[in-house]
C-alpha cells in the first residue's frame, strides 16, 4: 500500500478525526512537484479540488504517464487527494517556481491551509532536470542559491498568527530544515513540525546548540531502507526507516515506492546492504577529498554532461557509471591538481566496487555452504537410516505409523 491507496482508504477521515500525520506530510511534499504556473497566473487562492480540476482540463493522463521523471505521478496523487473529504477543501496559494540554469538554481514552493487551522509549506525537491541535481551535489562543498529563496519564502509569507508545518522531499527536505533553522524568531516560534522525506541534512558547522535543541523535538526524517540521499549529513534524532517495494536505490528515492499502513510508513529494522555501501562511498568521498576538489569535480561533471547533450536525470541514468569514469579520465588528462583528485575518486570508487563484489561473493558462498550443509545433513540421515540397527528414534516412529504398529504391540 502506498500513499495513493492511503487517499482511497483513509481520505474520508477529517483532520479532526485523524490529526496530521507522516503520510499527510508525504502527500503534500509530493504534490509540490506539480507544475502549476499557468493555473495561478490570475488566481491568488484556490481549493485543492479547483487546482486539480484546472490542471486536468489541460493535461491528459496519457501525457503524464509517458514522462520518465520519478515525480511524474504527482498530478495523479493530487487528483486522488482532491477527490477526498480530507484534502479537497484545503486552500492552495503562494505558488512559486524558478528554474535558472545559468545560476544552477531550481526552486519551487507552495502553501496549503488545512481545515485544522494550520498551514503546510511544501518545498519541491530535485526534479528530473540536471540543474536540480547539480544543486544537490553542490551541498557537499557549499551553499546553494535555492536555500536563500526558501528562507525568503518562509519569512515573507508566514505570519505571527498561524501554525506551520514545513515539509519537503529530497532537496526540498533540506530547504525545509534550512529555512526553519534560519527563519525570523517570530516565524520560527510558529513552526510546529519539520518533515524531511529522504532529504540531506545540514553540513557540520551550520548548527549551534540552540538549533539542535529546536530540531530534537520538531524535526522528523523519513528515509527508505534502500537510501542514498537522506544519509548525507544525517542529523535527525527522530528518524524512521521505511520499507520499499523496489530493488534499487534510485527507484527507492521515489516516495511512490514507500510502503504505508494506516497513517504511518511501514517501518524497516535497518538499512539494506546497498545503502550501507552507498553510505561508505559518500562518507569516503566527503572525508578523503577537500571542498575545493569536490567543487572542481561537480563543475567538470556537469560541463561534460552538457557536452554529451545529457539534460535530465533519466538520460544520465541511461548512461550509467561510465559517464563518471569518463569525466574522471578527462580530469586526469588536465592539470596536476585535477589529476590528484581524479586519482582519489578512482581509488574510492574502485575500493568500494571491490568491496561490493567481495561481499556479494561472500554472501553467495554462505548461501551455497548452507545448502550443502542441509543436503549433507539430510543425506547423512538417510544413509544412517539404511544401516541395520542404526535407525534413529524419529525414523522408527515414522516406520510404526506406516506399518500400523504401535509401541505397545511391537516385539
Q: For 43-47, 240-244, 301-305, 396-400, which range has the lowest pLDDT when averaged over its residues?
A: 396-400
Query: Which has more confidence, 169 or 102?
Result: 169
> pTM score, two decimals?
0.74
Q: Which helix (H) or strand (E) holds 6?
A: helix 3-10
Is residue 92 helix, strand or coil? strand
pLDDT score recorded for residue 336: 66
What single DSSP character describes residue 34?
A: S
Query: Which has more confidence, 281 or 14?
Result: 14
Q: What is the CB neighbour count within 10 angstroms for residue 92? A: 26
What does CATH list as the number for 3-270? 3.40.50
Query: Which has more confidence, 391 or 174?
Result: 174
Residues 101-124, mean pLDDT to the nearest whole number: 88
What single DSSP character describes residue 257?
A: G
Grid coordinates in use for 232?
548525507
Is residue 151 helix, strand or coil? helix
Q: What residue ranges do the domains of the chain occupy?
A: 3-270, 289-364
Most confident of 68-72, 95-99, 300-304, 328-332: 95-99
pLDDT digits (tens, 9 = 90+) for 292-309: 877 877 777 777 777 777
289-328: burial string, b at 16+ Cβ within 10 Å, e else: beeebbbbbbebbbebbeeeebebbebbeeeeeebbeebb
Q: Give CA–CA dist 163/187, Å, rounded.
A: 9
Amino acid at each position: 500500500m502506498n500513499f495513493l491507496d492511503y487517499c482511497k482508504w483513509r481520505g474520508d477521515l477529517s483532520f479532526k478525526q485523524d490529526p496530521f500525520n507522516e503520510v499527510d506530510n508525504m502527500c503534500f511534499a509530493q504534490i509540490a512537484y506539480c507544475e502549476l504556473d499557468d493555473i495561478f497566473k490570475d488566481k491568488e487562492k484556490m481549493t485543492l479540488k479547483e487546482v486539480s480540476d484546472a490542471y486536468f482540463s489541460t493535461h491528459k493522463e496519457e501525457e503524464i504517464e509517458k514522462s520518465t521523471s520519478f515525480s511524474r505521478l504527482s498530478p495523479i496523487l493530487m487528483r486522488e487527494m482532491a477527490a477526498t473529504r480530507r484534502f479537497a477543501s484545503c486552500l492552495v496559494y503562494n505558488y512559486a517556481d524558478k528554474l535558472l540554469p545559468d545560476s544552477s538554481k531550481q526552486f519551487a514552493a507552495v502553501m496549503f491551509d488545512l481545515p485544522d487551522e494550520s498551514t503546510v509549506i511544501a518545498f519541491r525537491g530535485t526534479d528530473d532536470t540536471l540543474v536540480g541535481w547539480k544543486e544537490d551535489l553542490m551541498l557537499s562543498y557549499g551553499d546553494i542559491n535555492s536555500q536563500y529563496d526558501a528562507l525568503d519564502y518562509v519569512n515573507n509569507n508566514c505570519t505571527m498568527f498561524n501554525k506551520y508545518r514545513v515539509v519537503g522531499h529530497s532537496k526540498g527536505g533540506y530547504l525545509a530544515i534550512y529555512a526553519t533553522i534560519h527563519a525570523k524568531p517570530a516565524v520560527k516560534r510558529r513552526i510546529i513540525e519539520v518533515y524531511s522525506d529522504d532529504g540531506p541534512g545540514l553540513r557540520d558547522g551550520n548548527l549551534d546548540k540552540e538549533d539542535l535543541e529546536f530540531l530534537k523535538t520538531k524535526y522528523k526524517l523519513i528515509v527508505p531502507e534502500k537510501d542514498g540521499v537522506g544519509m548525507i549529513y544525517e542529523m535527525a534524532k527522530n528518524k524512521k526507516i521505511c520499507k520499499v517495494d523496489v530493488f534499487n536505490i534510485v527507484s527507492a528515492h521515489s516516495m511512490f515506492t514507500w510502503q504505508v499502513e494506516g497513517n504511518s510508513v511501514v517501518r524497516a529494522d535497518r538499512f539494506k546492504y546497498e545503502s550501507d555501501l552507498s553510505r561508505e562511498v559518500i562518507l569516503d568521498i566527503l572525508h578523503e577529498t577537500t571542498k575545493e576538489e569536490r567543487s572542481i569535480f561537480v563543475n567538470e561533471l556537469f560541463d561534460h554532461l552538457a557536452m554529451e547533450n545529457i539534460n535530465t536525470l533519466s538520460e544520465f541514468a541511461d548512461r550509467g557509471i561510465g559517464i563518471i569514469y569518463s569525466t574522471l579520465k578527462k580530469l586526469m588528462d588536465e592539470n596536476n591538481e585535477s589529476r590528484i583528485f581524479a586519482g582519489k575518486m578512482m581509488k574510492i570508487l574502485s575500493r568500494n566496487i571491490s568491496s561490493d563484489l567481495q561481499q556479494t561473493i561472500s554472501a553467495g558462498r554462505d548461501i551455497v555452504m548452507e545448502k550443502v550443509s542441509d543436503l549433507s545433513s539430510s543425506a547423512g540421515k538417510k544413509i544412517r537410516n539404511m544401516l541395520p540397527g542404526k535407525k534413529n528414534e524419529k525414523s522408527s516412529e515414522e516406520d510404526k505409523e506406516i506399518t500400523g504398529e504401535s509401541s505397545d504391540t511391537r516385539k
